[in-house]
Structure 1
Amino acid sequence: MKSILYFILLFSISTLHAQSEAENVKNTIDSFFESFHAQDSLAMKEFVSTNVIIQSIGEDQQGETLVHKTSFSKFLKGIVSIPKDASFKEELLDYQISIDGNMANAWTPYKFYFKDNFSHCGVNSFQLVKIDGKWQIIYIIDTRRKEGCN
Structure 2
Amino acid sequence: MLHSNLRDMKILVCLLVIITGFSADAQETPEETAAKKTVESFFVAFHDQDSIALRELAHPSITMQSIAEDEEGNVNLTTDTYSDFIKAISSIPETTKFEEKLHSFEIKVNGPLANVITTYSFFVNGELSHCGVNSFQLFKEEDSWKIIYIVDTRSKEDCDSSIQFRIKN
Q: TM bucket by the smaller chain? A: 0.7 to 0.9
- Structure 2 residue 74 is matched with structure 1 residue 69: no
Note if contact 2:132-2:154 (Cα within 8 Å) is conserved in structure 1. Answer: yes
Match of 1:42 in 2: 52
| Larger CA Rg, structure 1 vs 2 | 2
Q: TM-score, normalised by structure 2?
A: 0.77
Match of 2:40 in 1: 30
What's the offset of the Cα at 1:107? Answer: 0.7
Q: 1:83 aligns with which of 62, 83, 93?
A: 93
What's the offset of the Cα at 1:18? Answer: 6.1
What's the offset of the Cα at 1:19? Answer: 1.1
Note if contact 2:122-2:129 (Cα within 8 Å) is conserved in structure 1. Answer: yes
Q: Distance in 2 between matches of 1:84 and 1:50?
A: 28
**1:77 corresponds to which letter in structure 2?**
K
Question: What does 1:1-150 correspond to in 2, within 5 Å?
Answer: 19-150=29-160
Return 5+ residue gaps in structure 2 as ranges: 1-24, 161-169
Q: TM-score, normalised by structure 1?
A: 0.86
Q: Distance in 1 between matches of 2:101 and 2:124?
A: 11
Q: Distance in 1 between matches of 2:139 and 2:158?
A: 32
What's the offset of the Cα at 1:62? Answer: 2.3
Q: Distance in 2 between matches of 1:42 and 1:68?
A: 24
Q: How many residues align?
A: 135
Q: Distance in 2 between matches of 1:87 and 1:59?
A: 25
Give secondary structure in 2 for the equivalent of 1:94.
Answer: strand
What's the offset of the Cα at 1:60? Answer: 2.7
Return 5+ residue gaps in structure 1 as ranges: 1-14
Q: What is the CA deviation profile of residues 58-117 of structure 1, one whole-angstrom value per residue up to 9, with x for unaligned ones?
A: 123321211000001110111011001211000111110001011000110000000111
Match of 1:10 in 2: none
For the aligned residue pairs, the C-alpha RMSD in angstroms reads 1.4
**1:47 corresponds to which letter in structure 2?**
L
Q: Percent identity?
A: 43
Could you list the structure 1 runs, at least 4 aligned residues long, displaced by more than 2 angstroms after superposition: none
